[in-house]
């Protein structure tokens, strides 16, 4: 019950307007005289600015003219309940838990709620970023964990925690194009957060529905976009329209949280002091200042160039770092989260067992035929002849590009080689090259760079390749008879080979028969076969189908540009247990697979061709070698020439032009990548360059020692002396303490849902058992808006409706039961219904909000009365700074208020309270005494509130003072670093 008045409220008072509760932020009297035609309104009217204090009104503001607002009233005092009976203790517990779980505090640096509001199988080390985040006034983190450690999960927990604490609402996630759907689905499925993808399709849809002037960046608070879409002129211009105009203050910032995945792709390109901002960098640099918090995610934070790394750090936090200045190690440690699978202090769990399965490289030897070697030699010869006849550096550059492209496809498959060779042949014969001006080096470089971009669509990748080939071939001089004969020879072979199995395909089939279909019977083993090219994928699909590997959905394909629903169906089938889903082989292209997780039931991966780009190879491996892999080892296979194992410990057996020599070189590259994964940012480009040189016949050995030596200072800078095992244990203790303090047990969550369904008049949960006998529930058919709670219960592959559980230990490692976390729609609706009882008016409430319970005599030997209250502190920006449940009470002696209980006594009494209720006669007597006890009980609550507010004001003041001192120290250190850099007589040798 609430006591109300119609007088004009003061700032800070609680009011009820339009059946909702608000706090008054500002009262502005009108300067106009009162209206003589309305004598009932004496004095000037008042414009009130209100801020919502209800759970679903985060940051919501409202302006009303108080005197003419119908139904508006001041809530002078929130009174205690006036019960006519007692609630069941379970109902009161559920109500209090619902209010408790909705509370969050900016001042609380200990409790973290996001792990309990997400459907993830959390690893202890993944708590580090979110624990750091709640202690930072502005969250600026560089999450640089190794590939496959769960950076998306870590970023999701930080995001959810900031939302819970009312520190973030408007969020933008910037990712590579191929990862947009992955991020959207992860945030929806794992954290219960809806994000919308901003792309050309959404812009067309919004214009059709809302008009041509709609701005896609302001239509929804949580958005995802690709960095390559954002950098375009029109999307960037529309984003600028949402920002403060030139000369206007940028504080408070327009947006709350920016997440940039694969952030190294947005760092300035180039080297030394002459590193230049790419279009991606420019776009990010324009956006970053308008976000309060920033998360940058990358497994390779340092690309080997000092200027590029310092520029990336400045984008993240320009108060700690400055471009061109070496980062201070203390500041870098404060914002950087970096754990490596190979770190000995991190690689094992507390019990000594490996945290991650080892990755093992295996070779598949191929006895290539003489004819295949001849074609390889023919391409070598063609390369040599063409290079020798190049007239200048531009033509030589174009020639090498075409020949490298042909060689890559020859190593892939006859089908891919034939497609590219035919395009090259057509370009050679084209009459256009005689009349069209020849492209310059800069034009060629742009074409080649476009081809090297990451593509989410294989068709677009093939088109970019074709365009680059056409541009390059226009520079070729007329072919000689010998060159024409070589092209004809290679094309005739490719024509024949495409219609049959080449030696590598035969060995693949043999491997599949031994490992996936031994003895002609399908095993439960699964394998992913990666290829760069759609043409190779189509050809392999035909080859494997001919050999009987495709029947009954045993073989599936995934490629860039396929229908999104079809793509999700393939992903679901491959991630479902092999006991349920028949698929055993997945043929995937690079364009389709980036960012996808296939580790549930697959630990084997075959590179049908070894990528020349080390980062691409590592991305492929990361699809199965990642967090959640259940196998005891991950096996990665590469094709090599016959006799490789015998030659493995010696130098190459033949000349650099030998086919086996090239394959052995690529295998050595794969092995080297395994050993220098930590230094891939610096050593990777060196390896890529040497691969190209080797494939053009210019080198026979892989030499990375110099680059590895140069990478040592970088490695040292990015490593911090931390006892990771001790740190992980502290994180888990913090996690467990939060669970205890907030009573976040599966039983209590079940109780909240059960009580709320009953109050809503919905059918109760149906108890059930999993196949291994663990307790779960079937969700009954719910009515009205509650029916939406069943969304997501369909199995993604079988489409069967799955049971639910509130216990993560039941759902761990399985997909036949759904973990219903606190951010799932069902608990959210239940929590909202129960929390609404805080404001329920007399006669409309579903609960009495009063219960009677028995407490052991050794705790309190006389009856006592204890009340709970919700304490909310609102900041000047209308957001909640703090919220908690407080309790106060006293003893009942001789039917009257006795002495007040202290905090320790109250905590002990509540902890010892049982679910047993006193007798009916005792409850009747308690109800008779209740009205006389209420004034003293309210006074006790008031005193407890004042005491608690005093403590909170002190804590908040201390934190504000600490943050001010920290920021001053940070800026002072940055100033010193910049001055030192300017005064330094030492200059690095610059590379042009």
C-alpha separations of 258 from 166, 172, 218, 939 in Å: 16, 5, 15, 46
Is the distance from CB of 416 to CB of 465 less than 8 angstroms? no
* Predicted confidence (pLDDT) per residue in 586-595, tens digit: 999 987 666 6
pLDDT bracket for residue 40 (50, 70, 90): low
How confident is the model at residue 708, as a pLDDT? 76
Q: Can you say how many angstroms the Cα of residue 923 is from the centroid of all Cα atoms in its chain?
A: 53
DSSP 218: G
pLDDT bracket for residue 805 (50, 70, 90): very high
The SS3 of residue 713 is: helix
How confident is the model at residue 99, as a pLDDT? 92
pLDDT bracket for residue 988 (50, 70, 90): very low
CB neighbour list of residue 319: distance below 8 Å, 6 or more residues apart: 967, 970, 971, 974
Cis peptide leading into residue 252 (ω within 30°)? yes
How confident is the model at residue 42, as a pLDDT? 58
The SS3 of residue 533 is: coil
Classify each residue of 617-632 as buried b or exposed e, where b means 16 or more C-beta atoms within 10 Å of its C-beta: bbbbbbbbbbbebeee
CATH class for domain 124-338? alpha beta
pLDDT at 980 over 50: yes
Q: What is the CA radius of gyration of the chain?
A: 34
pLDDT bracket for residue 698 (50, 70, 90): confident
How confident is the model at residue 35, as a pLDDT? 62
Chain length of the chain? 992
pLDDT at 651 over 60: no
CATH architecture, range 2-78: Roll (2.30)
* Predicted confidence (pLDDT) per residue in 447-478, tens digit: 776 666 667 778 888 888 888 888 888 888 88
Among the residue ranges 103-107, 256-260, 744-748, the one predicted with the least confidence is 103-107
pLDDT at 986 over 60: no
**Residue 785, number of CB atoms within 10 A of its CB:** 10
pLDDT bracket for residue 529 (50, 70, 90): very high
* Predicted confidence (pLDDT) per residue in 102-138, tens digit: 888 877 888 889 999 998 888 888 999 999 999 898 9
pLDDT at 861 over 80: yes
Among the residue ranges 396-405, 704-713, 859-868, 981-990, the one predicted with the least confidence is 981-990
Among the residue ranges 352-356, 555-559, 828-832, the one predicted with the least confidence is 352-356
pLDDT bracket for residue 272 (50, 70, 90): very low
How confident is the model at residue 721, as a pLDDT? 57
Mean pLDDT over residues 168-190, rounded?
89
Q: In whole angstroms, give the CA distance from residue 133 to residue 158.
A: 7
Q: Can you say how many angstroms the Cα of residue 935 is from the centroid of all Cα atoms in its chain?
A: 51
Alpha helices by DSSP H, listed for 474-583, are 481-498, 503-515, 534-546, 564-575
pLDDT bracket for residue 657 (50, 70, 90): very low
Alpha helices by DSSP H, listed for 413-440, are 414-429, 432-435
| H/E stretch holding 387 | helix 370-388
* Predicted confidence (pLDDT) per residue in 481-513, tens digit: 999 999 999 999 999 999 999 999 999 999 999
pLDDT bracket for residue 681 (50, 70, 90): low
How confident is the model at residue 463, as a pLDDT? 86
How confident is the model at residue 510, as a pLDDT? 97
Token pair of 18, please?
């339009």
DSSP 901: P
Percent of the chain with pLDDT over 90: 48
DSSP 245-304: PTTS---S-SEEEEEETTGGGGSPBSSGGG-B--HHHHHHHHHGGGEEEEEEE-S----S
Q: In whole angstroms, give the CA distance from residue 454 to residue 508.
A: 28
CB neighbour list of residue 960: distance below 8 Å, 6 or more residues apart: none
pLDDT bracket for residue 649 (50, 70, 90): low
How confident is the model at residue 77, as a pLDDT? 64
Mean pLDDT over residues 572-582, rounded?
93
Give yes or no on whether 124-338 and 359-365+501-642 have one common fold: yes
Q: What is the mean pLDDT of the chain?
A: 86
pLDDT bracket for residue 718 (50, 70, 90): low
Residue ranges of the domains in the chain? 2-78, 84-111+742-844, 124-338, 359-365+501-642, 375-498, 864-971
Please enumerate, as own/partner, the contacts of 777-780 that have beta carbons within 8 Å and a separation of 24 or more.
777/750, 777/803, 777/804, 777/805, 778/803, 778/804, 779/803, 779/804, 779/826
Among the residue ranges 294-303, 342-351, 848-857, the one predicted with the least confidence is 342-351
How confident is the model at residue 34, as a pLDDT? 63
* Predicted confidence (pLDDT) per residue in 358-410, tens digit: 999 999 999 999 999 999 999 989 988 988 888 788 888 888 888 889 999 99
Mean pLDDT over residues 245-258, rounded?
89
* Predicted confidence (pLDDT) per residue in 872-924, tens digit: 887 766 567 888 899 999 999 998 999 999 999 999 999 999 989 999 999 99
| H/E stretch holding 530 | strand 527-531
How confident is the model at residue 78, as a pLDDT? 61
* Cα end-to-end distance, the chain, whole Å: 77
* Predicted confidence (pLDDT) per residue in 722-734, tens digit: 666 777 788 888 8
Find tokens 């690529």 and name the residue: 666
pLDDT at 784 over 70: yes
Q: In whole angstroms, give the CA distance from residue 758 to residue 439.
A: 74
Is the distance from CB of 524 to CB of 447 less than 8 angstroms? no
pLDDT bracket for residue 430 (50, 70, 90): confident
The SS3 of residue 848 is: coil
pLDDT bracket for residue 702 (50, 70, 90): confident
Mean pLDDT over residues 127-152, rounded?
91
* Predicted confidence (pLDDT) per residue in 921-939, tens digit: 999 999 999 999 999 999 9
Q: Strand runs (DSSP E) across 30-105, as ranges?
A: 46-52, 61-65, 73-78
More confident residue, 455 or 802: 802
Which range among 52-66, 156-170, 385-399 has the greatest average pLDDT? 156-170
How confident is the model at residue 431, as a pLDDT? 40
More confident residue, 85 or 565: 85
pLDDT at 41 over 70: no
Among the residue ranges 72-86, 179-193, 357-371, the one predicted with the least confidence is 72-86
- Using alpha carbons only, what angle is made at residue 799 by residues 524 and 566, rounded to the nearest 5 degrees? 80
More confident residue, 127 or 350: 127
DSSP 301-323: ---S-HHHHHHHHHHH-TTT--T
pLDDT at 2 over 50: no
How confident is the model at residue 401, as a pLDDT? 87
pLDDT bracket for residue 355 (50, 70, 90): confident
Fold of 359-365+501-642: Rossmann fold (3.40.50)
How confident is the model at residue 987, as a pLDDT? 46
Percent of the chain with pLDDT over 70: 91
The SS3 of residue 550 is: coil
pLDDT at 607 over 80: yes
0.95 exceeded by the pTM?
no
Q: What are phi and psi of 6, to 5 degrees?
A: -100, 0
Q: In whole angstroms, give the CA distance from residue 459 to residue 71.
A: 62
């Amino acid at each position: 019950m609430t006591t109300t008045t119609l007088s004009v409220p003061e700032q800070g008072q609680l009011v009820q307007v339009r059946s909702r509760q608000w706090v008054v932020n500002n009262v502005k009297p009108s300067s106009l005289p009162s209206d003589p035609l309305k004598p009932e309104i004496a004095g000037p009217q008042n414009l009130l600015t209100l801020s919502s204090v209800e759970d679903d009104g985060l940051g919501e503001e409202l302006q009303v003219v108080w005197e003419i607002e119908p139904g508006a009233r001041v809530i002078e005092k929130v009174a205690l309940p006036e019960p006519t009976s007692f609630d069941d203790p379970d109902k009161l517990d559920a109500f209090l838990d619902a209010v408790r779980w909705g509370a969050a505090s900016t001042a609380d640096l200990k409790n973290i709620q996001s792990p309990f509001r997400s459907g993830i199988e959390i690893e202890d080390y993944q708590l580090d970023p979110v624990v750091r985040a709640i202690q930072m006034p502005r969250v600026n983190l560089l999450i640089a964990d190794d590939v496959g450690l769960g950076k998306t999960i870590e970023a999701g927990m930080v995001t959810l925690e900031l939302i819970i604490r009312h520190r973030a609402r408007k969020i933008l996630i910037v990712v590579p194009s191929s990862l947009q759907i992955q991020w959207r689905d992860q945030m929806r499925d794992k954290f219960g957060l809806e994000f919308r993808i901003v792309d050309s399709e959404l812009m067309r849809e919004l214009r059709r529905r809302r008009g041509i002037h709609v701005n896609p960046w302001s239509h929804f608070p949580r958005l995802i976009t690709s960095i390559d879409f954002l950098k375009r002129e029109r999307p960037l211009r529309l984003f600028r329209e949402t920002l403060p105009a030139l000369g206007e203050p940028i504080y408070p910032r327009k947006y709350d949280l920016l997440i940039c995945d694969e952030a190294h792709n947005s760092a300035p390109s180039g080297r030394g002091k002459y590193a230049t901002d790419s279009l991606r960098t420019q776009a990010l640099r324009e956006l970053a200042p308008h976000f309060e918090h920033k998360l940058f995610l990358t497994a390779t934070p340092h690309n080997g160039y000092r200027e590029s790394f310092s520029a990336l750090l400045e984008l993240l936090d320009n108060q700690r770092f400055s471009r061109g200045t070496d980062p201070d190690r203390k500041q870098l440690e404060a914002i950087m989260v970096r754990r490596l699978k190979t770190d000995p202090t991190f690689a094992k769990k507390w019990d000594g067992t490996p945290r991650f399965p080892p990755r093992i490289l295996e070779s598949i030897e191929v006895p290539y035929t003489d004819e295949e070697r001849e074609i390889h030699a023919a391409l070598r010869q063609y390369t040599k002849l063409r290079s020798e006849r190049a007239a200048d550096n531009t033509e030589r550059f174009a020639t090498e590009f075409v020949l490298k492209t042909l060689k890559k496809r020859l190593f892939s498959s006859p089908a891919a080689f034939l497609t590219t060779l035919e395009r090259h042949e057509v370009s050679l014969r084209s009459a256009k090259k005689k009349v069209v001006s020849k492209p310059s080096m800069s034009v060629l470089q742009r074409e080649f760079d476009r081809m090297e971009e990451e593509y989410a669509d294989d068709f677009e990748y093939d088109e970019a390749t074709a365009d680059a080939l056409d541009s390059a071939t226009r520079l070729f001089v007329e072919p000689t008879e010998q060159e024409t004969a070589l092209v004809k020879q290679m094309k005739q072979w490719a024509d024949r080979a495409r219609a049959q199995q080449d030696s590598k395909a035969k060995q693949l089939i043999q491997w599949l028969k031994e490992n996936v279909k031994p003895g002609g019977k399908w095993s439960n083993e699964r394998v992913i076969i990666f290829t760069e090219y759609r043409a190779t994928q189509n050809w392999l699909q035909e080859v494997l189908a001919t050999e009987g590997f495709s029947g009954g959905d045993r073989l599936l394909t995934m490629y860039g540009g396929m229908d999104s629903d079809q793509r999700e169906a393939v992903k679901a089938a491959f991630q479902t247990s092999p006991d349920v889903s028949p698929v055993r082989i997945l043929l995937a292209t690079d364009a389709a697979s980036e960012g996808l997780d296939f580790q549930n039931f697959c630990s084997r991966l075959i590179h049908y061709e070894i990528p020349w780009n080390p980062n691409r190879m590592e991305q492929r491996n990361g699809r199965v070698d990642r967090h959640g892999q259940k196998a005891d080892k991950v096996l990665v296979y590469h094709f090599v020439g016959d006799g490789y194992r015998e030659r493995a410990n010696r130098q190459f057996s033949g000349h650099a032009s030998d086919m086996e020599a090239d394959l052995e070189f690529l295998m050595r590259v794969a092995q080297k990548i395994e050993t220098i994964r930590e230094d891939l940012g610096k050593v990777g480009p060196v390896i890529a360059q040497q691969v190209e040189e080797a494939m053009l016949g210019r080198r026979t050995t892989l030499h990375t020692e110099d680059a590895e030596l140069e990478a040592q200072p970088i490695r040292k800078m990015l490593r911090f002396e931390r006892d990771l095992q001790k740190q992980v244990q502290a994180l888990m203790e913090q996690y467990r303490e939060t669970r205890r303090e907030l009573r976040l047990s599966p039983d209590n969550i079940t109780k909240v849902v059960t009580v709320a369904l009953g109050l809503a008049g919905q059918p109760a949960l149906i108890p059930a058992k999993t196949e291994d006998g663990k307790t779960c529930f079937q969700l009954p058919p719910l009515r009205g808006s509650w029916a939406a709670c069943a969304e997501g219960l369909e199995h993604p592959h079988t489409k069967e409706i799955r049971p639910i559980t509130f216990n993560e230990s039941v759902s761990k490692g399985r997909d036949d039961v759904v973990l219903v976390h606190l951010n799932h729609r069902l608990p959210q609706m239940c929590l909202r219904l129960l929390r609404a009882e805080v404001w329920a008016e007399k006669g409309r409430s579903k609960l009495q909000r009063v219960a009677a319970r028995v407490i052991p005599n050794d705790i309190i030997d006389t009856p006592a009365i204890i009340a709970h209250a919700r304490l909310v502190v609102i900041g000047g920006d209308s957001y909640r700074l703090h919220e908690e449940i407080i309790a106060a009470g006293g003893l009942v002696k001789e039917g009257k208020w006795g002495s007040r209980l202290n905090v320790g006594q109250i905590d002990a009494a509540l902890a010892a309270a049982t679910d047993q209720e006193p007798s009916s006669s005792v409850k009747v007597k308690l109800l008779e005494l209740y009205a006389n006890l209420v004034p003293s009980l309210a006074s006790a609550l008031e005193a407890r509130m004042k005491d608690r507010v005093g403590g909170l004001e002190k804590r908040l003041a201390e934190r504000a003072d600490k943050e001010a001192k920290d920021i001053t120290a940070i800026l002072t250190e940055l100033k010193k670093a910049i001055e030192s850099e300017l005064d330094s007589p030492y200059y690095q040798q610059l590379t042009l």
